[in-house]
């Protein structure tokens, strides 16, 4: 039995009363949450920092771990995407596996306990089967041509079967507004609704995405030209991307909008009016890496968007660390509420994944990981206590 305490204990939703003590059994399960007066002082292990549940990384691409350090910074999303296509299959299967295992270990050391992970194939199954971390895999589907919706969806269902066979939680997810047709997005939402599973979509990661939808101009024309894909079927909507596709989302499906770097207030109001199960994922280090621009944290906050945090992949980040994402946000906004950023890093991500009874909160009877956050605001580090 261990009794642990610190000046600040964050439950996943709020700070607990000063003097709170967590009682852990030998398996790190919280057997009780008590006041320091209920236990002999010399039995309590005191830590200097903030104790909180294990972190939830709600957006990662484990499959891209071998691209660590290979993609140039600040080249914009289109060049980034082309580099990924160019390099992702160059490494051997063994190297890809080894780099995924290393990334899984790194996340564990960084106090991450659960991950929403994007996959385009079955390469990560072995790592996920062997990992002590919880993974929900989003099988990401790509197909902008509406005529291909059925065959792309069929391919996604085949991938789903492989993950189910390995007893790994998984659901389908459209890649992004500029790479998934409306019929494909609709099929994915229908499927997630039937099985009560969450989905995820990259949203407004670049200005070019809005430009593509508003006027069928900009960098995405270059991308599709290089890829040799005709865009004859695509018509501009004269609206931003989120407003162009958001009405097709099934509002009963928990949906993660990832990045939101170029999302404006009108976009937020539009989607919030239609959809109550929305979560907004921030991956600020990846945004700096690719576009050298941060999302408007204040705008999302003022509009009461339920925020989660993600690392994105090692192709667009130098580390897979939620505390590094927290630090970057606090460096640009030192007065940002600590309570709300810690909630984004724990409870909100767990709620999105549908695992909030097991992860994201300090709860009696559960082992959701226990982190100790040390250091000063904007320069935090994390240590695993349990
Ligand atoms: Zn991503």
What secondary structure does DSSP assign to 54-116, as a single string? PEEEEEE-GGGGGGTTTSPSSS-HHHHHHHHHHHTTTS-HHHHHHHHHHHHHHHHHTTEEEEE
Quote the ligand 1 centre to 12 CA distance (angstroms). 25
**Mean pLDDT, all residues of the chain:** 97
Dihedral sign for Cα atoms in the order 298, 299, 304, 308: negative
Write down the pLDDT at residue 171.
98
- Is residue 210 within 8 Å of residue 241, measured between CB atoms? yes
The H or E element spanning position 221 is helix 219-226
State residue 151's pLDDT score: 98
Give CA separation, 191 vs 65, 127, 186, 202, 258, in Å: 29, 26, 9, 19, 20
**Measured distance CA(29)–CA(9) in Å, rounded:** 16
CA 356 to centroid of ligand 1, rounded, Å: 23
pLDDT surpassing 90 at residue 92: yes
Question: Quick one: pLDDT at residue 376?
Answer: 95
Which pLDDT does position 295 carry in this prediction?
96
Residue 335: per-residue pLDDT: 86
What is the Å distance from ligand 1's center to 1 Cα? 41
386 C-alpha to ligand 1 centroid (Å): 29
- What confidence score (pLDDT) does residue 262 get? 97
Q: How far is the CA of 31 from the centre of ligand 1 (A)?
A: 37
State how far the Cα of 5 lies from the Cα of 145, in Å rounded to an integer.
Answer: 56
For residue 343, the SS3 value is helix
| CA–centroid distance, residue 203 to ligand 1 (Å) | 10
Q: Find the 313 Cα to ligand 1 centroid distance in Å.
A: 7
Where exactly does CATH 2.30.40.10 map onto the chain?
1-53+361-386
At CA 214, angle to CA 209 and CA 218, rounded to 5? 50
Assess whether pLDDT exceeds 90 at residue 299: yes
- Cα 276 to middle of ligand 1, angstroms: 23
Give me the pLDDT at residue 115, please.
98
What average pLDDT score do residues 212-234 get?
95
CA of 59 to the centre of ligand 1 (A): 6
Topology adopted by domain 55-359: TIM Barrel (3.20.20)
Tally of CB atoms within 10 A around 156: 25
Ligand 1 centre and the CA of 61: distance in Å?
A: 6
Per-residue confidence (pLDDT) for residue 238, from 0 to 100:
98
CATH 3.20.20.140 in the chain, residues?
A: 55-359
Q: What is the pLDDT of residues 103-158, one digit of tens each?
A: 999 999 999 999 999 999 999 999 999 999 999 999 999 999 999 999 999 999 99
What average pLDDT does range 225-243 have in this prediction?
A: 96
The band of 334, judged by pLDDT with boundaries at 50, 70 and 90, is confident
CATH superfamily of 1-53+361-386: Urease, subunit C, domain 1 (2.30.40.10)
From residue 189, alpha-carbon distances to 31, 164, 245, 277, 327 in Å are 39, 19, 12, 13, 34
Q: How far is Cα 69 from Cα 98, in angstroms, rounded to an integer?
A: 16
């Amino acid at each position: 039995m261990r009794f642990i305490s610190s000046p600040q204990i964050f439950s996943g939703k709020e700070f607990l009363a000063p003097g709170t003590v967590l009682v852990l059994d030998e398996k790190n399960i919280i057997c009780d949450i008590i006041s320091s007066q209920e236990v002999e002082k010399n039995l309590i292990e005191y830590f200097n920092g903030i104790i909180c549940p294990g972190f939830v990384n709600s957006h990662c691409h484990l499959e891209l771990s071998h691209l660590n350090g290979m993609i140039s910074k600040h080249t914009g999303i289109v060049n980034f995407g082309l580099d990924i296509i160019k390099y992702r299959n160059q490494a051997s299967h063994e190297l890809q596996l080894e780099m995924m295992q290393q990334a899984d270990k790194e996340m564990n050391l960084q106090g991450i306990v659960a991950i929403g992970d994007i996959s385009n194939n079955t390469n990560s199954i072995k790592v996920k089967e062997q990992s002590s971390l919880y993974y929900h895999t989003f099988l990401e589907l790509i197909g902008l041509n509406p005529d291909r919706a059925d065959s792309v969806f069929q391919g996604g269902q085949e991938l789903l079967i492989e993950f189910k066979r390995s007893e790994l939680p998984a659901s389908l997810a459209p890649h992004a507004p500029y790479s998934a047709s409306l019929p494909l997005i609709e099929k994915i939402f229908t499927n997630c609704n039937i099985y009560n599973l969450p989905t995820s979509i990259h949203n407004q990661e670049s200005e070019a995405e809005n430009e593509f939808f508003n006027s069928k101009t900009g960098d995405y024309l270059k991308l599709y030209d290089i890829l040799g894909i005709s865009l004859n079927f695509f018509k501009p909507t004269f609206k931003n991307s989120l407003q162009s596709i958001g009405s097709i989302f099934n509002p009963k499906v928990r949906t993660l909008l990832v990045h939101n770097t170029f999302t404006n207030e009108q976009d937020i109001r539009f989607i919030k009016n239609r959809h109550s199960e929305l979560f907004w994922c921030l991956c600020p280090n990846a945004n700096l890496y690719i576009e050298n621009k941060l999302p408007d944290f204040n705008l999302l906050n003022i509009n009461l968007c339920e925020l989660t945090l993600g690392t994105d992949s090692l192709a667009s980040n130098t580390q897979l660390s939620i505390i590094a994402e927290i630090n970057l946000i606090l460096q640009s906004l030192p007065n940002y509420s600590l309570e709300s950023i810690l909630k984004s890093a724990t409870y909100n991500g767990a709620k999105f994944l549908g695992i909030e009874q097991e992860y994201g909160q300090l709860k009696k009877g559960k082992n959701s990981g226990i982190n100790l956050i040390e250091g000063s605001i904007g320069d935090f580090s994390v240590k695993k206590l349990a």
